[in-house]
Amino acid sequence: MTGYSTLLTERTGAVLKITANRPDVLNAQSRILLEELDDAFVRATKDDAVRVIILAGAGKHFSAGHDLGSPQEMADQKKNPVEGFKDEYRRLSERFFENTMRWRDIPKPTIAQVQGYCIMGGMMIASACDIIIASDDAQFADRAVKWGGSHVQYFSMPWDFGPRKTKEYLFTGAFISAADAEKAGLVNRVVPRAKLEEETMALAQNIAERDPFALKLAKASVNEMQDAQGWRQAMEGAFKNYMMTIPHRIEMGTYGPKAREKAPKDRFGILNKKTG
C-alpha cells in the first residue's frame, strides 16, 4: 500500500517518522487509518534502511482515540456492516487488539511523539511504543468506565502506572498530565511543546546509531521478560473482560449506532476548545 490517505511518512537518515494526518478530527483512528498504519509499520520493519520509527499525530493533538462518527468512518461502516456479536468480536479484536499487540513487538525501536490529547485509542498506540516523549501540555486518559465499559482493548495501563493508580484513573476517568505520566513511568521525558519534534528526533537519531541487531535483541529481552511475568496472558484476559461489557453497554444505550445518534458530537468535552 502506497500513497496513504490518512498518514504522512518521512525518512530522515535511519529514522522513519509516521504521522497520523487527520487533525480535523483530532487524529481519530478510523479503519482506514489503522490499516494504513499497520502497512506502514510492516514496510518499516522490512526496510533495512530504517532503524528507528517515530509515531506522531498532526496538528495540536496526538489522538482522541477511536473514530466514533466522522463522515468518512460512517460511510466506511455502511460499506462494511457488522452482523451480530461474533462479527463485532472479530472486528474489535482485529482492529484494536491484535494489531496493537503486533506493533508492541515490532523488532525495531519505536517512539511515540505525543502532544495535546492522547485519549483512549490514542493512549493504546502510544503505550505500544517502546518510548514516549510528551510535550508539557500532553494529557492522557482512559474514560471507558464513564460509558459502562471496563477500559480500552489494549489494556497495558496497570503495567504503565501500577495497580492502584490505574484503578484511580479508570474509576474517575480523570485526565493525566504529562508530568504525572512521567512520574508514574508511562512517559520517558516531558519537553516544552515547541521542542517536541526536535527532542524526539534527536533521541531517535541517537538510538539509530546503535547496532540494529543489538537493538532488536535488547527490545526482545525486555518484552519477553514482561511476557514471562504474565503480560501477554493478562492482556488477552483484559480484552475478553472488555468484550463482556459490550452487551451491557448496548443495554445502557452507550454503544452501537443508536448510541452514536444520541451522543453529543463532543464525547470528551474538548472540541469546543480551540483544537487544531
Q: What is the pLDDT of residues 37-54, one digit of tens each?
A: 999 999 999 999 999 999
pLDDT, averaged per 10 consecutive residues of the chain (276 residues), comes to 88 98 96 96 98 98 90 78 84 94 98 98 98 98 94 96 96 97 96 98 98 98 98 97 92 74 52 36
Cβ proximity of 68 and 142 under 8 Å: no
- Each residue of 237-247: pLDDT tens digit? 999 999 999 98
Interval 89-123: pLDDT, tens: 998 999 999 999 999 999 999 999 999 999 999 99
Residue 195 burial (CB count, 10 A): 13
Q: Are strands 15-20 and 7-12 parallel, antiparallel or unpaired?
A: antiparallel
Fold of the domain spanning 7-262:
2-enoyl-CoA Hydratase; Chain A, domain 1 (3.90.226)
pLDDT, position 80: 77
The three-state secondary structure class of 35 is: helix
Contact 147, 255 (CB under 8 A): yes
The residue type of 187 is V
Domain extents in the chain: 7-262
Name which of 173, 43, 56, 203 is nearest 126 in CA terms: 56
What integer pLDDT is reported at residue 275 of this predicted model? 32
pLDDT in the model for residue 261: 59
Nearest by Cα to 242 from 134, 170, 187, 162: 170
Distance CA(151)–CA(139), nearest Å, equals 17
pLDDT recorded at residue 133 = 98
What pLDDT is attached to residue 274? 35
